[in-house]
Amino acid sequence: MRVIRLLPAPAIAAFLAGCGPAPVASTADPSTDARYVRTVQQLQAIDRDADSFFQRGRADQAAALIEKGQPLEKRVLAVPHPPFDAAAAASDLDDLYGRMLLSNHHYGWARLLFQKNFARWKHWAPATAESGRRLKQAVDEIAECDKHLD
């Protein structure tokens, strides 16, 4: 008499899962999705409002908005090739945070944020007048931090 052995259920499930059709790779650009565009616009609005608060000496309100903008920044930078407006919005948030840290004499932390912008704009392709302006701004801000760190 033959004994028939049954495979454990997880092994069968794994085998059957491999029998389905191959996943279809999406060729759609996620940065053109309406939700992505709205997220970029929200980040841009946060940047403007936070900068306005900072300029008026209301650092606590600016800091709260920067904190609110950080998850949005991560989302807009998560796509493979963020468009310029998304990179600029992320850059503006980092720049404002860096300027706030600089004004509070946290030079090392400020420098770190300015370095992020330096790297972002140094390697931006294709280079434009605006990316060049942003790169120069980051270089100047890093130099300002370095004056206080030396």
Please give the tally of structural domains in the chain. Answer: 1
State the DSSP code for 26: P
SS3 27: coil
> Would 40 be classed as within a structural domain?
yes
User: Does the residue 2 lie in any domain?
Assistant: no
In a domain, 57, yes or no: yes
Q: How confident is the model at residue 150 (pLDDT cuts 50, 70, 90)?
A: confident
In a domain, 12, yes or no: no
pTM of the full structure = 0.80
Where is pLDDT greater, at 79 or 3? 79
pLDDT tens digits, one per residue of 70-121: 999 999 999 999 999 999 999 999 999 999 999 999 999 999 999 999 999 9
Q: Is 89 domain-assigned? A: yes
Domain contains 56: yes
Q: Is residue 126 part of a domain?
A: yes
- What domain range includes position 85? 33-149
Other C-beta atoms lying within 10 Å of the C-beta of residue 72: 23
Q: Can you give the CATH number for the domain in which 62 is found?
A: 1.25.40
Name the residue with higher pLDDT: 87 or 1: 87
CB neighbours of residue 104 within 10 Å: 11
* Residue 145 lies inside a defined structural domain of this protein: yes
